[in-house]
Chains A and B, each alone.
Chain A
Amino acid sequence: MSATSALGALGRRLAGSRVVVVSASILFAIALIALLGPLVSPHSYQATSLDERLAAPALADMRLFGTDDLGRDLFVRTTMGVQVSLLVAVVSSLVSLVIGVIYGAIAGYAGGRTDAVMMRIVDTLYALPFIFFVILLMVYFGRNFLLIFVAIGAIHWLDMARIVRGQTLSLKEREFVEAARLIGVRPMTIILRHITPNLLGVVVVYVTLTVPQAMLVESFLSFLGLGVQEPQTSLGSLVNGGVRQMEQAPWVLLIPATILAVILLCFNFLGDGLRDLLDPRGADR
C-alpha cells in the first residue's frame, strides 16, 4: 500500500469518528476566535479603565466577557490567555517529543545492556515529583518563556520515550532496516532516516495527549503566580485572578475556567479517539 492511499484511508476513518471530528472542530473554533478576536475588538489587553471595573458581560461596546478588577477587557485577555496557553502547551510538547523520540529510539535500537540501563533511568525518573522541580527552576531562574517551554517539555518526555522504544524494538527487525544495515549505513543514520519517520503515526497520537498535560502544568504554574507574568496572561493566571473576584463578579472566574476545561476535555477526547483509531486493541468495543 502506498503512503498516500494509507493516509487517505486514515483520513476517512478519522472523519467517521464523531468524537474526533467534534472535539477537533471545537478546538479549531476556539483557536480561530483566540487568533482573530483581538483584531476585531476595539480594546487592548492591558488598557485599564477605572470607571469600568468588574463590568458584567454585555454586547454593548464589545464587552463580551465583561472586565476584570482593573477594568481590563476580559474578552481580549481571554483570547490572549488561550493563545499563550496553547503556544506553551504545543511548543513544550514538541520539546518533549524531540527528547523522547531520540532517547527512545536510541534505547530501542541499541537493545541489550544499553537499553536496560536507559530504561531503568526512565523508570527511576518516573518516581520523581517533577512539578516541584519545575517550580524550583522558576524560583531560581526567573520566569522567562523559554524556561517554561523547556521545563514542561522535560517532564513529559518519559512517556514518549517508552512508547517510541517499544515501537523501535519491532521496527528494527523489519527488512528495510536490515537492508540498510547490510549496506553499511551507520546506526545513527538508520535511527534518524529510517526508524524515526516510521514512528510518526504513534508519535502524533501521543502528542495530542501530551498537549493537555503540558497545558495543565502551565496553568498550574500561572495559577500559583509562577508562570506567565503580568500584564501578559494565560488561562491559569486568569483563573487565579477570577478566584479573587468571584464573590462580586463570578464571570471573571467562570469564563476562563470553562474555556480551559473545554480545551482540556477536547484534547483528551481527541487523543483518546485517535489512539482508538490507530490501535483498535485499546478500544473498548
Chain B
Amino acid sequence: MQQRGAIRFALTRLLCAIPTLFFVILIAFLMMHAAPGGPFDDERALPPDAAANIERAYHLDEPLLTQFGRYFGGLLRGDLGPSFRYADYTVAELIGGALPVSALLGAMSLVIALAAGVAAGVLAALKRNSIADRLITGFALTGISIPVFIVAPLLVLVFAVRLGWLPASWASTDSGARLLLPVIALSLPQIAYIMRLTRGSMIEVLASDFVRTARAQGLDTWSIVRHHALKPAMLPLLSYMGPAIAAVLAGSVVVEQVFGIPGLGQLFVRGALNRDYTLVLGIVILYASLVIFLNLLVDILYGFLDPRIRHR
C-alpha cells in the first residue's frame, strides 16, 4: 500500500517533468530565433545569393514551426545540429569532446563536498558552541558569501603563483595534480552549504525523543549518530542536492575559465561570446535536462524515504 503511494507520487512527478523539459526547449529555441542578427552576420556583408544559400543549407528559410519540428526531431535522435561557428563540427561532437572532463570535475567536487560537509557538520553539531563549532560555522558563512570566481583565482594566486605547489593551469601538466585546485575551488562553497544544513538538522535530531531514549539505554554518542541520528539528519540534504548540482554546473563555467580546462563550461562561454547559437542552445538544453532529471530523481527518492511528503 505504502509502496504504491510512492510509485504514484513518482509517476506524477515524471508527468510534470516531461512538459517542463519540452517548454524549456521550446522557449530556448524561440529565444534564439527572436534574437536580432543572424549567426552569419559578419563585418563584411555576404552577397545576397551566398546568404540565401547558407540560409537554405541550415534550413533558416523555412517557417519557424517547421524549423522547431526539425530541431526537436533531431534532439530525440541525439542530433543537436551543426555548430554555426566551428565549421565541420556538429554540436553533439563538440559537447561529446568536452563532457568527460566536466563530468569528472563535477562528480569529484560533489563527492568531496558531501564527505567533507557531512563530517564537519556532524562534528559541529556534536561539539556545539565549542571552538571547533565556531570555526566551522565561521568558515561556512564565509564560504557561502564568497563566490567561486573569487575563490578560484585566490587559490591560484596562493598555491600556484606564490607557493608554486600546484599547477596553475590545465595545459601545464598531465598529472592528476591539475585536478586538485579546480576541484577544491568548486567544492568549497558546497562544503559550506552542506555543512550548515547537516549541523542544523543534526542538532534538531539529537534533541528528539528517540535519541534521548537511545541515550537512556546507555548507547554511546558515536553509535547513536551512526545507527539512529545520521539517516534522519541526512533527509534535508537530499532536497539540497538539486540546487547543489545546479550550483556546481554554474561554478564549473567559472572554474574551467580560470584554469583553462577544455570542458563544457569553457565551450559554453566561448560559444556565448562568439554567438554560436546552436552550440549555446545545445549546452543550455543539456544543462537543463540534467538538472530537471536529477531533481526528479531526488524528489522520487524523497517520496520513498519520507512517507510524510506523499500526503501533501
Contacts of A246 in B (CB 8 A): 153, 156-157, 161
A-contact 0/1 string along B66-82, CB 8 Å cutoff: 00000000000000000
Digit string of A247-267 for contact with B (CB within 8 Å is 1, else 0)?
100100110010011001100
Among B34, B144, B149, max chain A CB count under 10 A is at: B149
A127 to B154 alpha-carbon distance, docked (Å): 31
Q: Is the CB of B147 within 8 A of A219?
A: yes
Chain A contact patch, size range: 35 or more
Is B144 touching A257 in the complex (CB atoms < 8 A)? Answer: no
Query: In the complex, what's the smallest C-beta–C-beta distance from B138 to chain A, in angstroms?
Result: 11
For residue B216, CB closer than 8 A to chain A, the reply is: no
Interface residues of B in 263-312 (CB under 8 A from A): 268-269, 272-273, 275, 277, 280-281, 283-284, 287-288, 291-292, 295-296
The total of interchain contacts (Cβ-Cβ below 8 angstroms) comes to 117
Out of B254, B268, B283, B296, name the residue touching A220 (CB < 8 Å). Answer: B254
Could you say which residues of chain A place their CB within 8 Å of the CB of B156? 243, 246
Q: Which of B24-32, B180-188, B223-231 contacts A (4 or more CB under 8 A)?
A: B24-32
Q: Are A261 and B281 in contact (CB under 8 A)?
A: no
Q: Which of B144, B147, B280, B281 has the most CB of A within 10 A?
A: B147
Residues of the A chain whose Cβ atoms lie less than 8 Å from the Cβ of B268 = 132, 135
Say whether A128 faces chain B, with CB atoms less than 8 Å apart.
yes
Most buried by A among B36, B141, B145: B145
Among B34, B145, B157, B275, contact of A268 (Cβ-Cβ < 8 Å): B145
Cβ–Cβ contact B250 & A139, under 8 A:
no
| Contact residues in B for A240 (Cβ distance below 8 Å) | 149
Residues of B contacting A242 in the complex (Cβ-Cβ under 8 angstroms): 153
Instruction: Write the chain B residue with the least CB distance to A125.
Output: B20
Q: Given contacts A139-B280, A212-B145, A223-B149, is CB(A128)–CB(B288) below 8 Å?
A: yes
Residue of B whose beta carbon sits closest to that of A212? B145
- CA gap between A236 and B254 in the complex, in Å: 12
B287–A129 touching, CB < 8 Å: yes
A90 contacts partner chain B, Cβ-Cβ < 8 Å = no
Distance (whole angstroms) from the CB of B192 to the closest CB of chain A: 12
In the complex, the answer to whether B142 meets A127 with C-beta atoms within 8 Å is no
Contact across chains for B284 and A133 when beta carbons are under 8 A apart: yes
Sampled A-B contacts (5; CB under 8 Å): A131-B250, A220-B147, A224-B272, A246-B153, A265-B146
> Nearest chain-B residue to A131 (Cβ)?
B250
Which residue in A127, A138, A261 is a CB contact (below 8 Å) of B150? A261
CA–CA, A225 and B35, complex, Å: 19
Residue of B nearest to A135 (CB): B272
Instruction: Give CA–CA (A243, B254) in the complex, Å.
Output: 12
User: Would you give the shortest CB distance from A281 to chain B, in whole angstroms?
Assistant: 13
| Chain A residues positioned under 8 Å from B296 (CB to CB) | 127
Write the nearest CB–CB distance from B121 to chain A, whole angstroms. Answer: 14
The 8 A CB mask of A215-246 against B (1 = contact, 0 = none) is 01001100111100000000010011011001
B154 near A257: Cβ-Cβ < 8 Å: yes
The 4 closest A-B pairs by CB, nearest first: A140-B35, A127-B295, A265-B145, A243-B153
Distance, CA A216 to CA B280, complexed state (A): 22
* Bound-complex Cα distance A124 to B12 (A): 13
Interface of A is mostly: helix
Q: Is A166 an interface residue (CB 8 A)?
A: no
Q: Which residues of A contact B201 (CB under 8 A)?
A: none
Q: Which residues of B contact A35 (CB under 8 A)?
A: none
* Chain B residues within an 8 Å CB radius of A129: 246, 249-250, 287-288, 291
Q: Taking the complex as formed, is B258 at the interface, i.e. its CB lies under 8 A from any CB of chain A?
A: yes
- Which residues in window 256-284 of A have CB below 8 A to B? 257, 260-261, 264-265, 268-269
- Identify which of B147, B161, B254 contacts A224 (C-beta below 8 A): B254
Q: Which of A127, A224, A236 contacts B292 (CB 8 A)?
A: A127
Taken together as a complex, chains A and B put the C-alpha atoms of A133 and B291 apart, in Å, by 13
Q: How near does chain B come to A218, taking the closest CB pair, in angstroms?
A: 11
Return chain B residues, CB-CB under 8 Å to A253: 153-154, 157
A261 to B284, CA, bound (A): 29
Verify if B257 is at the interface (C-beta below 8 Å from A).
Answer: yes
Interface of chain A residues 82 through 131 with chain B (CB within 8 A)? 120, 124, 127-129, 131
Q: Please, how many angstroms separate the alpha-carbon atoms of A260 and B291 in the complex?
A: 29
- Is A136 interfacial (CB 8 A cutoff)? yes
B16 within 8 A of A: yes
Cβ-defined contact, A140 with B291, below 8 A: no
Asked if A187 is an interface residue, CB under 8 A from chain B, the answer is: no
How near does chain A come to B240, taking the closest CB pair, in angstroms? 12
B242 CB-CB contact with A under 8 Å: yes
Chain B residues with Cβ below 8 Å from A269 are 141
Q: Does B122 contact A (CB under 8 A)?
A: no
Give 12 new A-B contacts, CB below 8 A, not counting A129-B246, A129-B287, A268-B141.
A127-B291, A132-B249, A136-B281, A138-B272, A212-B145, A219-B149, A224-B269, A243-B153, A246-B157, A254-B157, A260-B147, A261-B150
Out of B20, B145, B254, name the residue touching A261 (CB < 8 Å).
Answer: B145
Q: Which of A128, A212, A250, A254 has the most CB of B within 10 A?
A: A128
- B288 in contact with A264 (CB, 8 Å): no
Across the interface, B275 reaches (CB within 8 A) one of A139, A239, A243, A260, namely A139
Q: A136-B28, A140-B34 in contact; A127/B257 too (CB < 8 A)? A: no
Shortest Cβ gap from A272 to chain B (Å)? 9
